[in-house]
Structure 1
Amino acid sequence: MVEELFFWNGSNHPNPLQQFQHNSNLLLLSGPPSSGKTSLLFQFAFNVAAAALHSNSSNPNVVFLCNQNRLDSKPPFLSQGIDPSSHVFQSIQIKYVNDDEDIRKYFAAFHLFDKLPDAVVIDDFGDFFDNKVCQQRYSNARGRDLAMIKSLALCHNAINYANQKGSCKLLLSDTHTHQGDSPRFHFIYKKWVHTTFTIKEGDISGSFILKVRSYSRTDNTGTEDMKAAKYSIALQYLVFDGLVNDYVE
């Protein structure tokens, strides 16, 4: 699953999102700093757009929400074998947002779009919620939590609306906590996100392990795919190094 979503082998034509159940419309990619999360998100956007074009979808569109300054300073790396001039990039719309209010405005207008996207990606979702600003806005010490809950609820409703018309997934990324491999705001995400892709550092510098875990809606128990993807960032490329079976933490 992970290799079809986040890496390129030159033949990623089947829609990689078809393997998800309808109730897994919100996905999360979580990893440590400088682990290639933005590159993985962009490759995900490319794969979805390429699959939609291959299936003769009418005007496929994948929306990539991000902070302009951050993207300009650390642009994503492409997988080896992808032509930088590929027509697939024309189906990826980069939309710059500055804060959580910009994100809510985008999703609040979903029902007004003439063409709903095939997927929406948000880079570094948690960083759009400034703790001090959110506390002042809601006059509450837990203002950031309230803002994230409000935003995720709106995202959930918008994506569900899109899936009544067709098919659309939302993929968020965030950073691990300092004490482990869970996203910083796991206690908030777990209400809406039931499929999480987790990045861990590999056995050598610059290598990483990406695996998927799906959570039950009823008891929050999780199941992991026994196959994990090993990758690295080398020579300004996102390099898929193969699958690892029964990866033990």
Structure 2
Amino acid sequence: MMVEMFFWKGNNLLQQFENYSNLLLLSGPPSSGKTSLLFQFAFNIAAHDSNSTNPNVLFICNRHRLDFKPPFLSQGIDPSSNVFHRIRIKYVNDEEDIRNYFAAFHLHDKLPDAVVIDDFGDLFDNRVCQQRYSNPRGRDLAMVKSLALCHNAINYANQKGSCKLLLSDTHTHQGDSPRFHFIYKKWIPTTFTIKEGDISGSFILKGRSYSRTDNTATGSMKAAKYSIALQYLVFDGLVNNDQIE
């Protein structure tokens, strides 16, 4: 898995999306460009399948958040590109909407090539989940149940074709991060983590794969430097992980 898939490569699109892990997590602090990276990933997947005339990427998000803070595009992308017609946006309010969608995933006439969910952890309200499950750890239970549905749905899709699931979350960088990390590692084998760079507005994106059986890291990848400048997502180049530890 390469971090370049979150950035626009012009006509030199990566040609081996099918070799990537099917379940991915993008983790980063607030205001680090996660939504922009997710949308660029969705655009790259849609552009990769240039022969498709139907929407083949589903971008799931909260409508209010997307309207309040829309994603920035990479320089060089034509805002009128037909690729955008192959990205469908689905608005959700909470974890119940997510479960309903994935529970009926196998009933869809056309399965997407990718499903992208922005701010996945924010869909799980702690108080609502505690009441729903009559358990003080209701939020954890709700997340596990939803991730299990996501996992089964993506596995089903990959028996018929190719489908990726990419989630983003901010909670892995907050006080309850160890618990969130543990839950995600059980279901998501590849995680991309964002850290702030040494200059304001710059960031570093690192990737790592984990074993589902014992949560140990199985491999690391190159890291990417990027920035959010002049309302653009700017790719500043690749670096080796050992250069930024």
Q: TM-score interval w.r.t. the shorter chain?
A: over 0.9
Give the counterpart of 1:27 among 24, 28, 31.
24
What letter matches 1:121 in structure 2? V
**Aligned residue in 2 for 1:93:** 88
Tell me: CA distance 1:16–1:4, structure 2 relative to 1, closer, same or farther (3 Å): farther
The ranges of structure 1 where at least 4 consecutive aligned residues each deviate by more than 4 angstroms after the TM superposition are none
- The CA deviation at 1:221 is 1.5
Give the counterpart of 1:149 among 144, 147, 162.
144
The answer to whether structure 1 residue 77 and structure 2 residue 62 are counterparts is: no
Structure 2 unaligned blocks of 5 or more: none
**8 Å Cα contact 1:149/1:188 also seen in 2:** yes
**8 Å Cα contact 2:193/2:206 also seen in 1:** yes
The answer to whether structure 1 residue 178 and structure 2 residue 166 are counterparts is: no
**Aligned residue in 1 for 2:185:** 190
1:157-236 matched pairs, under 5 angstroms: 157-175=152-170, 176-178=172-174, 185-236=180-231
Alignment deviations for residues 16-67 of structure 1 (CA, whole Å, 9 cap, x no partner)? 52232xxx321000011100000000000000000011xx246351000000
The answer to whether structure 1 residue 136 and structure 2 residue 169 are counterparts is: no
What letter matches 2:37 in structure 1? L
What letter matches 2:183 in structure 1? I
The answer to whether structure 1 residue 247 and structure 2 residue 243 are counterparts is: yes
SS at match of 2:49: helix
What letter matches 1:128 in structure 2? L
Structure 1 unaligned blocks of 5 or more: none
- The CA deviation at 1:13 is 3.0
CA distance in 1, matches of 2:135, 2:212: 29
CA distance in 1, matches of 2:210, 2:163: 20
CA distance in 1, matches of 2:87, 2:186: 29
Alignment deviations for residues 169-220 of structure 1 (CA, whole Å, 9 cap, x no partner)? 100000132369x676111111111100011111111100001100123332
- The CA deviation at 1:119 is 0.2
Tell me: CA distance 1:116–1:71, structure 2 relative to 1, closer, same or farther (3 Å): same
TM-score of the superposition, structure 2-length normalised? Answer: 0.94
**8 Å Cα contact 1:197/1:213 also seen in 2:** yes
SS at match of 2:243: coil
Give the counterpart of 1:45 among 42, 45, 66.
42
What letter matches 2:17 in structure 1? L
Give the counterpart of 1:108 among 99, 103, 108.
103
What letter matches 2:244 in structure 1? V
The answer to whether structure 1 residue 11 and structure 2 residue 8 are counterparts is: no
**8 Å Cα contact 1:15/1:52 also seen in 2:** no
**8 Å Cα contact 1:39/1:77 also seen in 2:** yes
CA distance in 1, matches of 2:179, 2:76: 34
**8 Å Cα contact 2:209/2:219 also seen in 1:** yes
CA distance in 2, matches of 1:16, 1:202: 29
SS at match of 1:65: strand
CA distance in 2, matches of 1:4, 1:183: 27
**8 Å Cα contact 1:228/1:247 also seen in 2:** no
TM-score of the superposition, structure 1-length normalised? Answer: 0.92
CA distance in 1, matches of 2:173, 2:101: 28
- The CA deviation at 1:108 is 1.0
What letter matches 2:33 in structure 1? G
What letter matches 2:181 in structure 1? H
Residue-pair matches, total: 243
CA distance in 1, matches of 2:209, 2:69: 30
